[in-house]
Amino acid sequence: METLVLVVHVLVAVVMIALIMLQQGKGAEMGASFGAGASGTVFGSAGSAGFLTKLTAALALIFFLTSLGLAVFARDAARTVAGSEFLEAPAETQGLPVLPGAAALPAAPAELPAPAAGKENSSTGLPVAPVGQ
């Protein structure tokens, strides 16, 4: 069904482009207004403006409806993909990027011991400020 709506949508778009290109501006019929043989045309003395305008409006309505139909199909497809179990991430990695080889990395220690006040940090050799003074 979606393919049918898409084909109709594209065909209507192409026909609308052709119809819009066929239409003439308001000033193009000035010569016909003064008796230049306009009454012998296919669409009568009024010209083709009324017919082409109505046909373009009808095609625009069909284009609008097929656009809405395609949007509904896309929404349903997005809901189907979002609800699948295939895309669900494990609870421990939600929100975090998963890198290749991440499981082989060592885990960080839960808590580092606090350095004693007034002493030097053994790993850096820098003095540690006393706490609570």
Q: Is residue 62 part of a domain?
A: yes
Backbone CA torsion sign across 39, 41, 44, 47:
negative
The answer to whether 7 and 62 are in contact (CB under 8 A) is no
Structure tokens at 64: 């609008």
Within 10 angstroms of residue 62's Cβ, the number of other Cβ atoms is 17
Give residue 61's domain range. 1-17+48-80
Spatial distance between the Cα atoms of 123 and 13, rounded to a whole number of angstroms: 72
Number of domains the chain contains: 1
Q: Is residue 124 part of a domain?
A: no
pLDDT in tens, 70-92: 999 998 888 877 665 555 555 55
Gap between the terminal Cα atoms of the chain: 77
- Percent of the chain whose pLDDT exceeds 90: 29
pLDDT in tens, 10-24: 999 999 999 989 887
Q: Is residue 64 part of a domain?
A: yes
